[in-house]
Amino acid sequence: MLGGMPPRHVMSRSRFLSLTDGLISTGEALLSDPDWNGFRAWLLNSDELLERVWGRMDRYHLAWLNVGRDTAPPGSPLDEAGTRRFVTEVTSAKLAVLRTMRSAVEQRGWTLLVDGTARSAIEAALASLIEPGDRVLVPIFGRFGHLKVEIAMRYGAAVIPIEVEWGTVFPVEQLETAIQKHKPKIVAISHGDTSTTMAQPLQELGKLCRAHDALLYVDATATLGGMDLPVDAWQLDVVLGPPHAPPIPAAA
């Protein structure tokens, strides 16, 4: 996907959902019967999945995995009571993450999990969509609009940037006018921009793009998992972003 440089791990939607379902069911069993050895295996398997999705993993607990519960002195965090508490708390947290990810991925259409930073997915999607000379309309209301302009230009697009004052977002009428005037193949827009903490309303934009035969690319790096983003209902063609974002209040 990355213009001839594929990511190390690309996982199909069905494979991801299958792996997640298995981890959730095993984790639920651990909550009722926190076996230490079973927990170690489950934790490593869940970490591997999260690493493939996010390109990194939290390793704060790996030192615990190298210590057997039987060798722990009484009263230490690894005695019977401490082990039960640790297994329960970490398993509960991981299950919450896995369920959130599963919910974010469970939709019609294709879902690919790209191993890398958020920038990797932003660029992978644009590289897959753009052919040299394609008109790409980029509405900019923060720093990450300029990033899309930079990437699209490198792939040979005829980029049409439009901008509003930072701290504001685009009225749908302004977007409709720009689409009618420039007739882009792709409209590439952020849902939320972390540089301004603003969220662009998208409820009407997908319908506008369909009416004018344009693909709608949505960078939801700052919002996926933190704000509502009904991909099918809003007719969004390409959506990307990590499913661990804090919510950004909608601007309108």
Q: Is the pLDDT of residue 146 over 90?
A: yes
What value does the mean pLDDT take over residues 62-69?
42
**pTM for the complete prediction?**
0.62
Strands (E), the chain: 10-11, 113-114, 135-140, 158-163, 186-190, 192-193, 198-199, 215-219, 238-240
Question: Given this model, what pLDDT does residue 240 score?
Answer: 85
Q: What angle do CA 99, 104, 109 make, to 5 degrees?
A: 130
Residue 54 pLDDT > 90:
no
Is 68's pLDDT higher than 50? Answer: no
Beta bridge mates, 135: 158
Residue 182's CB is within 10 A of a number of other CB atoms, namely 16
E-assigned strand segments in 120-213: 135-140, 158-163, 186-190, 192-193, 198-199
Give the pLDDT band (50/70/90) at residue 79. Answer: low
**CA 92, 63, 31: angle at the middle one, nearest 5?**
20
How many percent of the chain have pLDDT more than 90? 37
Q: What is the pLDDT of residue 7?
A: 38
The per-residue pLDDT for 9 is 44
Name the pLDDT band for 75 (thresholds 50, 70, 90). Answer: low
- β-pairing, 113-114 vs 135-140, is unpaired
- The tens digit of pLDDT for each residue in 179-231 reads 999 999 999 999 999 899 899 999 999 999 999 999 999 999 888 777 888 88
Answer whether residue 61 shows pLDDT above 50. no
Percent of the chain with pLDDT over 70: 72
H/E element holding 104?
A: helix 80-105
pLDDT tier at 152 (50, 70, 90 boundaries)? very high
Best-predicted range by mean pLDDT (100-109, 112-121, 201-210): 201-210
pLDDT for 94: 81
Sign of the dihedral through C-alpha 128, 134, 137, 138:
positive
- Mean pLDDT (the chain) is 78
| Structure confidence by residue, pLDDT tens digits, 10-47 | 566 677 778 888 999 999 998 888 777 788 888 888 87
All structural domains of the chain, each given as residue ranges with its CATH number in brackets, are 10-105 (no CATH), 117-240 (3.40.640.10)
